[in-house]
Amino acid sequence: MKKLLVFAVVALGSIGFAQAQEIDFGVQAGVNFANLQGDDVDDVDSRTGINVGLTGEYAFSPNFGLMVGAIYSQQGAEGEAAGIKQTLKLDYINVPVLAKFYLGGSGFSIDAGPQVGFVVNDESKFEGGGVTVTEDFDAETIDLSVGGGLSYKFKEGTTLEGLSASARYMVGLTNIYEDNDTFSDDITNQVFSINLGYKF
């Protein structure tokens, strides 16, 4: 896990290079509504989790910027059958690389781009009849996804300067299972998140 964190921090600082003084660094925290998608996914409920991490945004112009992050993200899904509740916990260090298109010079932006995730926790928990059993899930160590959303950043000089809010939807591109023969169809992540940010 330490190696993954080091990699994420390096990726976070990779934009701007010599012009690093022009990057707005900040923090992000929010709530995830995560689920799975695929032909073999039936009667599965979303798992509610948190996301928290560091961000950096480089402004190429007043209307365009690039945001990179290193975000701890709780994902997975939940379900119940025959009185047994199963919770699939898939937790990642996600590194999004999102283009930000600001609308008319306002604080609103449309965000879009890819994301790479590094799994840091993968387990299935079964609960029923007063018994709880936890098993390793053997998830793929790297998860690729793509998506975007909307953001609003309060402008400089306003009362809430430095704060931002965003809503984002990311769709997985790669199978979450290490063994592709487990199911007849790939099963991928999907996450809707609502986030608050603050730039230093």
> How confident is the model over 61-93, as pLDDT tens digits?
889 999 999 999 999 999 887 778 889 999 999
State the pLDDT confidence band at 118, using cuts at 50, 70 and 90. very high
Residues 6+ apart with CB under 8 A from 130: none
Model pTM score:
0.83
pLDDT computed for residue 51 by the predictor: 98
* Strand runs labelled E in 38-83: 45-61, 64-81
Strand partners, 99: 66, 112
Structural domain spans, the chain: 2-15+24-199
pLDDT computed for residue 184 by the predictor: 52
Residue 1 is given by DSSP the state -
**Cα 154 from Cα 149, distance rounded (Å):** 17
Fold for the domain defined by 2-15+24-199: Porin (2.40.160)
Higher-confidence residue: 165 or 185?
165
pLDDT computed for residue 104 by the predictor: 85
